[in-house]
Structure 1
Amino acid sequence: MANQEINEIKRIFISRLDVLDHILSIGEKHFADTNALMQERLAEDMYPFGTQVAFVCNQPLGFAQWCADQAIENLSKDVDTLEQARAHIALTRQMVERIAADDSKLDEVKHIGLGPGRYADLPARQYINDFLMPNLYFHISIAYAILRKLGAPIGKFDYMTFLAPHVKQEA
């Protein structure tokens, strides 16, 4: 299959966006003031919950834009409402679903800006494995951890809902 690797990346991104949406649903059920939730932080020097949502979405969104040879434009990090968070997830999901690149895209080199005056040029597979995926999981984990810190009833299975179709019960 010519697009086997790209399709697997898309599957991972979509399923992890579903995890993020699930985490949002837990926050929505547990906290009456979801706007206040969007401002909660794990630590004072870390970004708030809403920004974590934007940063999760920026990983697959940036990949989709790169695959389409578009300039990478991050979503606003100022996510103040549940509606904004869900809109970021929906837009990102649409962009990922539309990826039409073939696996040869993964043979290219990706230029990554890393802040003022810093960058890395990485082979695409390394860009995905060493940059995109760690960032994706980091920001999902921080959103999860913020809910845990606030006392929401969330556990490891909520973080790994993508495994649900594979779970079996022992006899």
Structure 2
Amino acid sequence: MQSPVPAFVHSLNAVSAILGKARAHEEAKKIKPEVMGELRLIADMFPLWRQICIATDHAKGASARLAGVEVPPFADTERTLEELQARIAKTVAFIQSIPEAAFEGAEAKTITVKAGPRELTFPAPFYLNSYAIPNFYFHLTTAYNILRSNGVEIGKVDFLGG
């Protein structure tokens, strides 16, 4: 199986750059650092900080599970844009530490993950392509939409990462 790491890294770097623009917006508008991370699209959706945490969890989780290495636990305590950028950097560093060779034969694996109170089991290719990647991009897109809807000047090119 081909490593998903390059695609995850590309998109994580793009969202980190978007958070950089959000930090500049925060500073220009004199918004307190604790405010931006709590923004949501709608009351019953997770806030920005949680969207980023879930996206990074899918990137590190999928990479680790497919490579057969332990998924590192992150505390999920990041709330500010700066802290979220640090979490993204930590995720990128971890997934880039996994050698490409670790993904050889991953397509034959069965992957089991906890989703709330449930355990879900998938063949590895289905797990990656129909669960991990869609969830990763859903949460990155939601984070982008939260920032865009709150006045941060970003566009599709920012999301795609140039």
Q: Who is 1:128 aligned against?
A: 128
Deviation of 1:110 after TM superposition, in Å, equals 0.2
Larger radius of gyration: 1
What residue ranges of structure 1 are gaps of 5+ in the alignment?
165-171
> TM-score if structure 2 supplies the norm length?
0.87
C-alpha distance in structure 1 between counterparts of 2:146 and 2:75, whole Å: 20
Count of equivalent residues: 155
Amino acid at match of 1:11: P
CA contact (8 A) 2:51 2:140 kept: yes
Q: Pairwise mapping of residues 7-46 of structure 1 onto structure 2 (< 5 A)?
A: 9-32=4-27, 33-46=32-45
* Pairing 1:102–2:75 present: no
C-alpha distance in structure 1 between counterparts of 2:49 and 2:24, whole Å: 16
CA contact (8 A) 1:34 1:81 kept: yes
Q: 1:42 to 1:77 in 2, by over 3 A?
A: farther
What residue ranges of structure 2 are gaps of 5+ in the alignment?
none
C-alpha distance in structure 2 between counterparts of 1:138 and 1:84, whole Å: 21
Give the CA RMSD over aligned residues. Answer: 1.6
> TM-score if structure 1 supplies the norm length?
0.83
Q: Who is 1:153 aligned against?
A: 153
C-alpha distance in structure 2 between counterparts of 1:38 and 1:98, whole Å: 28
Q: Which of the pair has the greater relative contact order for Cα pairs under 8 Å at 6+ separation? A: 2
